[in-house]
Amino acid sequence: MTEELKNYLQLHFVVLIWGLTAILGLLINVSAVAVVFYRTLFSTIILLGLLLLWKKSFKVEFKEFFKIIGVGLIIGLHWILFFAAARVSTASVCLVGIATCSFWTSLIEPLMSSRKIKIYELLLGILVVLGLYIIFRLEFQYIEGLIMAILAAMLASVFTVLNGKLTHKHNHYVITFYEMMGACLSSLLFIPLYLYYFDTEIVNFIPNQLDWVYLLLLAGICTVLAFSMSVKIQKVLSAFVVNLTVNLEPVYGIVLAFAIFGEKEKMSAGFYLGTAIILLSVLSYPLINRVVKRRALQSDIIR
């Protein structure tokens, strides 16, 4: 198995786990912002224990510390929008909205890394938007959740690009530790606003017994394991490749959601057509990228 193939398989494993996060978010009874708070708090504690056990250095430069915490704040807001989107719509709609990551990344990554926009990346991103347009038209009753999920996707593309730069300087577990700390802070700062606009009872922040189990799974498996793996993968794969593959999250998630929630997650034929178009974008990228690289190599040889 080549190193590249190994990284692709690990990335798909991570995306499969992330497909489970929206489902766990629906199974947990506390508010969306509380889900993020407990998820990031537990993740921070777990990572602290692991880093102490492995005797890893926590040391990062002062300037880098604030950069990582800043990315964590973005991650926290992303997750709040993500879980809130699932609450006001369905897990399937939320996951499809997240699939716009590739479109946002095709625009944001070139701006933040000073490289030229690749036309085929932009076209594949537009193909994702076409799939979403079909879903918008036929599932309009879920527009609020879809918009929130799209905003969450935009934030995801931003922190993925930023993480791509940070991973070359620091250990992926150390980065995840400080980012979870920043995300926990983000959820705390957002609580007053969330209570004002979305919630009226503070009781929604107190988990029941089963909630604790789901929250620990969310923190340990979907965050510490999956998020740390994704940060490590970004050392070798571009932000666009990572986010385009993340577009498979709705596919994995929809299958899991339908298996768990049954008829509640059943959508119109147009929804699945839009999802199929998004999937086409994901599967097309490796083939197109290989052709473009091969042509560029042949061009260099001719010169």
pLDDT digits (tens, 9 = 90+) for 194-228: 777 765 555 478 898 899 999 999 999 988 888 77
What is the reported pLDDT for 46? 93
Q: Kindly indicate the confidence band of residue 182, based on its pLDDT and cuts at 50, 70 and 90.
A: very high
pLDDT digits (tens, 9 = 90+) for 108-140: 888 887 777 778 877 887 888 788 788 777 777
CA-to-CA distance for 280 and 286, rounded, in angstroms?
11
Q: Cα-flanking dihedrals φ and ψ of residue 28, to 5°?
A: -80, 135
Three-class SS state of 262: helix
Q: Which domain holds residue 243?
A: 3-302
pLDDT digits (tens, 9 = 90+) for 59-87: 888 889 999 999 999 999 999 999 989 88
Query: For the chain, how far is it from start to end, CA to CA, in angstroms?
Result: 33
What is the reported pLDDT for 45? 95
CA 278 to chain centre: 16
CA-to-CA distance for 296 and 102, rounded, in angstroms?
23
Q: Of 147-161, 222-236, 278-292, which range is least confident?
A: 278-292
For residue 221, give the DSSP letter.
I
| Cβ contact 93:146 at 8 Å | yes
User: Helical H runs in the chain?
Assistant: 3-18, 21-27, 32-53, 62-88, 91-98, 101-113, 119-138, 143-166, 172-197, 209-219, 226-233, 239-246, 249-261, 269-302
What is the reported pLDDT for 286? 65
CA-to-CA distance for 281 and 62, rounded, in angstroms?
40
pLDDT digits (tens, 9 = 90+) for 158-179: 988 888 778 777 787 888 899 9
- Alpha-carbon distances, residue 44 vs 83, 137, 178 (angstroms): 19, 41, 8
Residue 202, exposed/middle/buried by CB under 10 A (0-12, 13-18, 19+)?
A: exposed
DSSP 41-84: HHHHHHHHHHHHHTT------HHHHHHHHHHHHHHHHHHHHHHH
Short-list 261, 64, 258, 82, CA closest to 166: 64
Kindly provide the b/e burial profile for residues 226-243, where b requires at least 16 CB atoms within 10 angstroms of the residue's own CB: bbbbbbbbbeebbbbbbb
Query: Tokens 């620990």 correspond to what residue?
Result: 216
Three-class SS state of 132: helix
pLDDT digits (tens, 9 = 90+) for 24-34: 988 998 888 99
Range with top average pLDDT, 184-188, 221-225, 263-267: 184-188
CA-to-CA distance for 76 and 98, rounded, in angstroms?
15
Mean pLDDT, the chain, rounded, equals: 83
Q: Kindly indicate the confidence band of residue 302, based on its pLDDT and cuts at 50, 70 and 90.
A: low
| Cβ contact 125:106 at 8 Å | yes
Total structural domains within the chain: 1
Q: Kindly indicate the confidence band of residue 1, based on its pLDDT and cuts at 50, 70 and 90.
A: low
**Within 13 A of 155's CA, how many CA atoms are on the CB side?**
20
Short-list 273, 257, 279, 23, CA closest to 136: 273
What is the reported pLDDT for 201? 53
